[in-house]
Homo-oligomer: A and B are copies of this chain.
Amino acid sequence: MLDIIGKNAREAAFVLGKTSTIKKNEALVKISEALNDNVDEILKENEKDIAAALENKMKASLVDRLRLTKERIEGIALGVKQVSELEDPVGEILGMKLRPNGLKIGQMRVPLGVIGIIYESRPNVTADAFSLCFKAGNAVILRGGSDAINSNLAIGNVISNVLKQEGLPEAAIQVLSDTSRETATKLMKMNQYIDVLIPRGGAGLINSVVKNATVPVIETGTGNCHVYVDESADIDMACNIVFNAKTQRLGVCNACESLVVHSAIAKQFIRAIAARLNEKGVEIRGDEVCRSIADNIIPATEEDWGTEYLDSIISVKTVDSLDEAITHINKYNTKHSETIVTKDYANAERFLKEIDAACVYVNASTRFTDGFEFGFGAEIGISTQKLHARGPMGLLALTTTKYIIYGDGQIRE
């Protein structure tokens, strides 16, 4: 069964790789319209998932993530339409060079081929991930969570139907109806049919894919993001950045989870930020120095330095030098997003160079790590690994290149 799905995806990918940008954009616009036209059908299927979730006593916040409404479907449809407006990366020729023997060698940007997405309970991913993969000329196999299976299949059906009407391969999107763990594990080993796997979800899901997959994986990640407040920092700017990075949205991977403060500025800065965070109800866990400066600070343990809270909690570590700050951050971070607040030119440049993370900031909130904020127009996830794509991934991350070589009879001597 999975073999047939793989074969169909491979065939669909071959056709999509040759499909013109105009044709792909027309299909995306029609899919966007069809999602709006089929709201009732999608909502009816989503109702089944919600009913099952309530019966299984799913947490209210997760039920909310699962729930579709007319407005949310309109949002999903709008997202698909916006992808039709993005520039198509496929076919671009990079760096064509003439070799001494007359060969012309360049790189052509081409689709990856077949992309497998393994994700959890947000049904919007079904349409979002499809539209980005499709625009970049890829076929997609979607393995969503069992919680959202009816919603995912309904959205997949709407999309497949439009593709069929447009004379495009229906198998450009295939939503697995079998959401068993065994099937997911098989999917992760289908190297002959799948070019890349992108897991989207929590740390457990991502680790499982990294551990089990033989297909290449783009790891999208958890974020234990730090703000380092340098000795020379502007106190107001530092407070604003930390407050924003911690509290603007709690449950996201680019939120600040840990604060690192130079001891020379600790007294003044920690008092100021503690007052603002306390007011907002944020729990502070700090080291000894930190606790000697302000009240209401719980002792931090070794475990706190490595924890992504995704909650109204922040850890605070004091350091005596930039070196100590860099060593601490590189040891405990998840290679996502890190910021220094400083007025010092050399410290800013050293932080940018020496911190090992997908996104390294000077004097700005970590919350900007996002495909839309970076100007990519869309995002399939944020890569925290180093191969292929690092940081927010837009359409370009869903392509690869091949060398194309124009000759006139050259042979090798």
- Give A contacts to B, CB under 8 Å: 14, 17-18, 91, 97, 99, 103, 105, 108, 112-113, 191, 195-196, 210-211, 214, 216-218, 234, 237, 240-241, 243-245, 248, 330, 348, 352-354, 356-365, 367-369, 373-375, 385-388, 390-392, 400-412
B403 contacts A360, CB within 8 Å?
Answer: yes
The CA-CA distance from A246 to B379 in the complex, in Å, is 45
Closest Cβ of chain B: how far from A199's Cβ, in Å?
13
Closest to A189 in B: B211
In angstroms, Cα B388 to Cα A385, docked, is 11
Once bound together, how far apart are the Cα atoms of A245 and B409, in whole Å? 12
Residue among B244, B330, B357, B400 making CB contact with A402, cutoff 8 Å: B357
> Which residue of B has the minimal Cβ distance to A241?
B411
Report yes or no: A244 in contact with B210, Cβ–Cβ below 8 A: no
Contacting pair A363 B408 (CB below 8 A): yes
B358 lies within 8 A of A412 (CB): no
A18 engages B240 (CB within 8 Å) = no
Cβ-neighbour of A240 out of B17, B405, B411 (below 8 A): B411
Whether B354 and A17, one on each chain, are in contact in the complex, defined by CB atoms closer than 8 angstroms, is: yes
Residue of B with least CB distance to A413: B248
Are A387 and B388 in contact (CB-based, < 8 A)? yes
Give the distance in Å from the alpha carbon of A355 to the alpha carbon of B248 in the complex.
Answer: 48
Q: Are A97 and B388 in contact, CB atoms less than 8 angstroms apart?
A: no
Q: State A245–B91 Cα separation when bound (angstroms).
A: 28
Residues of B within 8 A of A358 (CB): 402-403
Roughly how many angstroms separate A99 CA and B365 CA in the complex, as a whole number? Answer: 14
Would you call A373 and B99 a contact (CB within 8 A)? yes
Please, which residues of chain B bring their CB within 8 A of the CB of A409? 234, 237, 240-241, 363-364
Q: Which of A353, A357, A358, A386 has the most CB of B within 10 A?
A: A386
Please indicate the chain B residues that have their CB under 8 angstroms from the CB of A360 in the complex: 402-405
Chain B residues in 8 Å Cβ range of A374: 99, 105, 403
| Contact present for B357 and A248 (CB under 8 Å) | no
**What is the bound-complex CA distance between A91 and B368, given in angstroms?**
23
Complex Cα distance A292/B349, Å? 71
How many angstroms from the CA of A388 to the CA of B400 in the assembled complex? 8
A257 CB to nearest chain B CB (Å):
16
Q: Choose among B108, B385, B412 the residue that contacts A365 (Cβ–Cβ < 8 A).
A: B412
Contact B411 A386 (CB under 8 A): no
Structural contact, B359 and A405, CB atoms closer than 8 A: yes
Given contacts A237-B409, A365-B410, A388-B387, contact A403 B17 (CB under 8 A): no
Interfacial chain B residues near A352, Cβ < 8 Å: 108, 404
Chain B residues within an 8 Å CB radius of A406: 348, 362-364
